Amino acid sequence: PQGSEKARTFVHAFLKRSMPKMKGEAIQDMLTRKAVVLEHYPKKKVKQKRKKTKGFTAKQRRELRLFEIEPEQQRYAIFLPLHELWKQYIRDLCHGLKPDAQPHMIQSKLLKADLHGALVTVTKSKCPSYVGITGIILQEFKHVFKIITKEDKLKVVPKLNNVFSLELDGFISYIYGSKFLLRASERSAKKFKLKGTIDL
């Protein structure tokens, strides 16, 4: 087209005036073969905030009955293997409960140990009806233990105002429930003072 021809003539004339020392062929060669590198700025990636997975609320857990043990499962014999596993777990944790083991070292490990499967007895209580209850701990909550007895009865025993004894390989440890008002997960990170106490 006529317009493009005019544009070509203008460009050539402009280049000759701008670069008088270069011949037309050199100018044409430079324009044909020269590569132009364009800078590329990548787009910054916007970090997506991870959404924290929300667990069930206490109300939802109650409605779904997540922690309830069905009546047909409330049998002492069913949980004896759990108790055997717990005993092996404690032996491994304490590197074997040997007669020459230092009691305070074992006590400090037991304070942070998981008690699900432990065989405990209520030795002292402000409520006499709790004294003598013996069974395997099925569930530990912040304020209570759920214990299955040899009579296949599920007992909910509060920690407050109760003293529990725990015997394993001849070593007896006492748990003062009033000082033990923690969840199992919180207890593993807590520092306990190994001092005796006379209150319940």
Identify whether residues 176 and 125 lie together within a single domain: yes
| Sequence-ordered alpha helix ranges (H) in 102-157 | 103-112
Residue 164 has pLDDT above 60, yes or no: yes
Identify whether residues 90 and 164 lie together within a single domain: yes
Highest mean pLDDT among 1-5, 61-65, 171-175: 171-175
B/e letters for 155-176, b = 16+ CB within 10 Å, e = fewer, are bebbbeebbbebebeebebebb
Identify whether residues 92 and 144 lie together within a single domain: yes
How does residue 154 score in pLDDT terms, banded at 50, 70 and 90?
Answer: very high
Question: Do the domain assignments include residue 56?
Answer: no
Identify whether residues 27 and 94 lie together within a single domain: no
| Residues spanned by the domain of 9 | 1-48
Identify whether residues 127 and 176 lie together within a single domain: yes
Q: What is the tens place of the pLDDT at every residue in 117-142?
A: 999 999 999 999 999 999 999 998 88
Q: What is the tens place of the pLDDT at every residue in 24-80?
A: 666 666 666 655 555 666 777 777 777 766 777 878 877 887 778 888 888 999 999
Asked if 155 contacts 182 with a C-beta cutoff of 8 angstroms, the reply is: no
Asked if 150 contacts 121 with a C-beta cutoff of 8 angstroms, the reply is: no
Longest dimension (CA), the chain: 114
On whether the pTM is more than 0.85, the answer is no
pLDDT of residue 55: 77
Identify whether residues 22 and 80 lie together within a single domain: no
Q: What is the CATH number of the domain that holds 122?
A: 2.30.30.210
pLDDT of residue 3: 67
Identify whether residues 178 and 87 lie together within a single domain: yes
